[in-house]
Structure 1
């Protein structure tokens, strides 16, 4: 009989340890889930900020091209004229 009681006591102790471990892991999972959410929000904010700065960089590049040397101005005007001509050609083709 004593041996069965020892087995039962060991099983009860193991079950108790498993339950404690389960509760600990649940809490840890919740903490990690919360941390993950915060990091995702931070990442989204940083991605938005990167996009904003990329747009600002593009605006600065355009401004530099327009406000640059006479050679840049001529190149820019030539590009704009070319694009306008292409658009005019497309409009003509659409109207025919």
Structure 2
């Protein structure tokens, strides 16, 4: 009888430890989930910022190309003339 009571007492102690560990792990999981969500939001914000700056860089490159330096002014003018001619062709084809 005494051996059974010891086994029951040990089982109760083990169950109590398991319940405490379960509660601890639940809290830890909640903290990690919140941290993960915050990091995902931060990453999304940084990705949006990267996209914005990539677009800004592209616009600056286009502006710089159109501005042209002394050596590239003729090339830039030729590109613009070519684009205008292509647009004129498209308009002419649409009208016919």
TM score, norm. by length of structure 2: 0.81
In structure 1, the gaps of 5 or more residues are none
* 1:30-56 alpha-carbon deviations (Å, 9 max, x no partner): 101110111111111111111111111
Residue of structure 1 equivalent to 2:66: 66
* Cα distance in structure 2, aligned partners of 1:8 and 1:21: 20
Which consecutive unaligned segments of at least 5 residues does structure 2 have?
none
The Cα of 1:81 is off from its aligned counterpart by 3.1
Higher relative contact order by CA 8 Å / sep ≥ 6: 1 or 2?
Answer: 2
TM-align CA RMSD: 1.9
- Give 1:75 shift: 1.9
Q: Where in structure 1 do 4 or more consecutive aligned residues deviate above 6 Å? A: none
TM-score when normalising by structure 1: 0.81
